[in-house]
A and B are shown apart, each in its own frame.
Chain A
Amino acid sequence: MSEHLLEVRDLKQHFPISTGWFQKTPLKAVDGVSFTIDKGETLGLVGESGCGKTTVGRTILHLYKPTAGEVIYNGTQITPANIGKFRRDMQIVFQDPYSSLNPRMTVSDIIGEPLDVHKLYSSKKERDEKIAHLLNLVGLNSDHARRYAHEFSGGQRQRIGIARALAVEPKFIVCDEPVSALDVSIQAQIINTFEDLQKKLGIAYLFIAHDLLVVQHISHRIAVMYLGRIVEIGESSEIIANPMHPYTQSLISAIPIPDPDTARVKKRIPLEGDVPSPLKMPSGCPFRPRCRYATDICAKECPSLKEAAPGHQIACHNPHF
């Protein structure tokens, strides 16, 4: 089973939260997540805010030390001790292009820093060439290298962030809501850039976003998260056409479709109430209090991911097809 580029097994990330004097309660941000990503594949990770999507991305990169579980990259288990060796292969692009670039550094410093850290050049000239190449790769001009981040628009800044991630020639990039801060017309530019880079360089993405229209467009497979767990995972067209988990069904029916005729006839499956606090998780299935199909067993046992159709797994006691 070494063909997967990245394998995540039962990953857990609990943050201790003080809930009173000398009292700590674990906040289970990620609670047993498993999936695989192949070379050159995009896995979309969707879910509402607070469901732990970002934490999954960061824990894979060991930006947080995982509470439990394994991250296996190319057959080797990643530990805090050896993560340094893998930093070159795994990068991240952040959501906010305004706060993820240092305002005191020029673009060539920002993109050059990973090159410096990993000593990826032999002469100053080579460094400059590499930076110019990276800028061209993401659709920026090489003259931009001497400017500062504030001189660019949001879309251009996100391109700088992507160029920085690409500097070390990674095999895998965590894209943490890379387009949600951008305008629609710019969003499309950046999505195309991601797709082109994947075709050219064979990079695998974990694409985290809450916008399902964007995720289904860019991803080969989609994983849906709810309160720290994956509730459904499968081929992206399959998830959109045949969602089986009641949560995914509601989520997909809630997408606002930019088409008035469809909007008029569309039936929504409304979800009552709000997401429960992860500090006070309901017993059994975390989705139970909002679920239309909940039965007695849902309160007792938390369902695990089971294969419902080839390549399509769901975690539900009463799946509805």
Chain B
Amino acid sequence: MSQPLLQVKDLCTSFDVESGEVRAVNGISFNLDKGKVLGIVGESGSGKSVTAYSIMRILVEPGRIKSGQILFNGEDIVKYSKLQMRQFRGKRVSIIFQDPMTSLNPTYTIGNQLREAILLHTDRTKEQANARALEMLQLVGVNDPQKRLNQYPHELSGGMRQRVMIAMALACEPDILIADEPTTALDVTIQAQILELMKDLQKKLGMAIIMITHDLGVIADMCDEIIVMYAGRICERGTADEIFYNPCHEYTKGLLRSIPKLDSKNERLIPIEGSPVDLTCMPAGCAFAARCDKAMKICLKQLPQEYWINDEHLASCWMNVKKVYDEAAKGGEA
């Protein structure tokens, strides 16, 4: 078992708009192993959702995958036909969206929508599909599931709707669940419920999860591995502990500094100054250089290369290269 479940290789996704080409995702690569939880974190516009939509191939016009490979069990799904994709979605990889209010169809009952997914991807009969729908609702902890099957989305609360979305995504036992900001629209206590549920289900069903969020708290709670994205590129990739306790990219460091901590009342927050870059006119060097207080000349000119900090940690920041040179110079003097 050396082959990862999902391999993304140098993926570029662009949107051609009037003012030019928006490189929403600009050459990212990562692997996802079976049964692991991968977190993708970044600000709005950093390309996290576009990455997810590219994997599902549900990009809206004028978005397109420009280059790169997405290998699922070694097969490149970028080359899949529409029909193949339809069989792939839901069965192999499922997605849940941020807003449970708008991602359910208001004109069909919950049961109807759940059944549709099951009938489409498995060869169950209608009765069996019904039983499966009921079972799924029980699994995600919806109270009174028999009654819910005949209800419409507007009759449920936000947390309940998100549970239904999860039930729908998991109904065909996918290998990967992509969760695109699954709790952002929910209250803290409901968010806690949903996160516990997802952790539980992940243990029970053994699927891999790609968790997309801007909330570092959610990431710390859920993920084995973390990808930090900025302006369509990966800044840093590593295990949760490495990213939180040994951040090696200036953006990650800034991000961790700028969140308030419990009992830090008198400490002043250290924000990242400036605003995110305009994706239509990307700088030649590191995209974060303009906001980085440690930026050097080379940062403005040349894109930083990926640099392995250790076996489980990768960062693209010139500071790491500088550190090596500095240490070498010190060693030379001594």
What are 24 A-B contacts defined by CB distance under 8 Å? A183-B276, A184-B43, A184-B216, A185-B254, A187-B258, A188-B271, A188-B272, A191-B271, A192-B268, A192-B269, A213-B259, A214-B260, A217-B269, A237-B265, A240-B263, A256-B192, A256-B195, A256-B218, A257-B220, A258-B217, A258-B219, A259-B244, A274-B159, A275-B157
B261 within 8 A of A: yes
B196 within 8 A of A: yes
Given contacts A195-B268, A263-B221, 8 further A-B contacts (CB under 8 A): A185-B258, A185-B271, A185-B272, A186-B43, A188-B259, A256-B220, A258-B217, A260-B245
Q: What are the residues of chain A within 8 A of B221 when measuring CB–CB?
A: 256-257, 263
Q: Assess the B196–A274 pair: CB atoms within 8 A.
A: no
Q: Beta-carbon contacts of B237-274 to A below 8 Å, as 1s and 0s?
A: 00011001100000000111011111111001111110
B190 within 8 A of A: yes
Q: Assess the B189–A257 pair: CB atoms within 8 A.
A: no
Bound CA–CA A216/B263 (angstroms): 8
Known contacts A184-B216, A213-B261, A240-B262; A192 and B192 CB within 8 A of each other = no
Closest CB-CB distance, B239 to chain A, in whole Å? 9
Bound CA–CA A270/B12 (angstroms): 41
B177 within 8 A of A: no
Q: Assess the A255–B217 pair: CB atoms within 8 A.
A: yes
Q: Beta-carbon contacts of B130-167 to A below 8 Å, as 1s and 0s?
A: 00000000000001000000000000010110000000
Q: Assess the B271–A186 pair: CB atoms within 8 A.
A: yes
Q: Beta-carbon contacts of A172-192 to B below 8 Å, as 1s and 0s?
A: 000000000001111111011
Which of chain A's residues has its CB closest to B218's CB?
A: A256
Q: Assess the B272–A213 pair: CB atoms within 8 A.
A: no
A153 within 8 A of B: yes
Which of chain A's residues has its CB closest to B260's CB?
A: A217
A250 within 8 A of B: yes
Q: Which of B193, B196, B240, B272 contacts A260 (CB 8 A)?
A: B240
Bound CA–CA A254/B195 (angstroms): 10
A241 within 8 A of B: yes
Known contacts A257-B217, A260-B220; A212 and B244 CB within 8 A of each other = no
Which of chain A's residues has its CB closest to B43's CB?
A: A183
Q: Assess the B220–A259 pair: CB atoms within 8 A.
A: yes
Q: Assess the A183–B214 pair: CB atoms within 8 A.
A: yes
Q: Which of A183, A260, A273 contacts B241 (CB 8 A)?
A: A260
Q: What are the residues of chain B within 8 A of A161 when measuring CB–CB?
A: none
Give A242-259 interface residues, CB cut-off 8 Å to B. Answer: 250-251, 253-259
A271 within 8 A of B: yes
Q: Assess the A241–B263 pair: CB atoms within 8 A.
A: yes
Q: What are the residues of chain A within 8 A of B187 when measuring CB–CB?
A: 48-49, 210, 275
Bound CA–CA A256/B273 (angstroms): 25
Q: Beta-carbon contacts of B48-82 to A below 8 Å, as 1s and 0s?
A: 00000000000000000000000000000000000
Known contacts A48-B188, A212-B188, A217-B265; A184 and B160 CB within 8 A of each other = no
B306 within 8 A of A: no
Q: What are the residues of chain A within 8 A of B269 when measuring CB–CB?
A: 188, 191-192, 217
Q: What are the residues of chain B within 8 A of A261 when measuring CB–CB?
A: 241
Which of chain A's residues has its CB closest to B44's CB?
A: A183
B2 within 8 A of A: no
Q: Which of B191, B254, B262 contacts A257 (CB 8 A)?
A: B262
Q: Which of A254, A262, A263 contacts B188 (CB 8 A)?
A: A254
Closest CB-CB distance, B199 to chain A, in whole Å? 11
Q: Beta-carbon contacts of A182-211 to B below 8 Å, as 1s and 0s?
A: 011111110110010000000000000010
Sorted nearest first, the 9 A-B pairs with minimum C-beta distance are: A256-B217, A188-B271, A217-B260, A254-B192, A188-B258, A258-B216, A185-B272, A48-B187, A183-B43
Q: Assess the B268–A268 pair: CB atoms within 8 A.
A: no
Q: Assess the B189–A250 pair: CB atoms within 8 A.
A: yes
Closest CB-CB distance, B116 to chain A, in whole Å? 26
Which of chain B's residues has its CB closest to A139's CB?
A: B273
A155 within 8 A of B: yes
B19 within 8 A of A: no
Which of chain B's residues has its CB closest to A240's CB?
A: B262
Q: What are the residues of chain A within 8 A of B244 when measuring CB–CB?
A: 258-260
Q: What are the residues of chain B within 8 A of A59 when measuring CB–CB?
A: none
Closest CB-CB distance, A18 to chain B, in whole Å? 17
Bound CA–CA A271/B191 (angstroms): 11
Q: What are the residues of chain B within 8 A of A185 when measuring CB–CB?
A: 43, 254-255, 258, 271-272
Q: Assess the A254–B262 pair: CB atoms within 8 A.
A: no
Q: Assess the B217–A188 pair: CB atoms within 8 A.
A: no
Q: Assess the A48–B189 pair: CB atoms within 8 A.
A: yes
Closest CB-CB distance, B266 to chain A, in whole Å? 10
Which of chain B's residues has its CB closest to A266's CB?
A: B221
Q: Assess the B189–A256 pair: CB atoms within 8 A.
A: no
Q: Assess the B255–A184 pair: CB atoms within 8 A.
A: yes
Bound CA–CA A197/B274 (angstroms): 19
Closest CB-CB distance, A224 to chain B, in whole Å? 12
Q: Assess the A270–B196 pair: CB atoms within 8 A.
A: yes
Q: What are the residues of chain A within 8 A of B188 when measuring CB–CB?
A: 48, 210, 212, 251, 254-255
Q: Which of B43, B44, B217, B240 contacts A213 (CB 8 A)?
A: B217
B107 within 8 A of A: no
A313 within 8 A of B: no
Q: Assess the A216–B255 pair: CB atoms within 8 A.
A: no
Closest CB-CB distance, B44 to chain A, in whole Å? 6
Interface centre among B245, B258, B270 (most CB of A within 10 A): B258
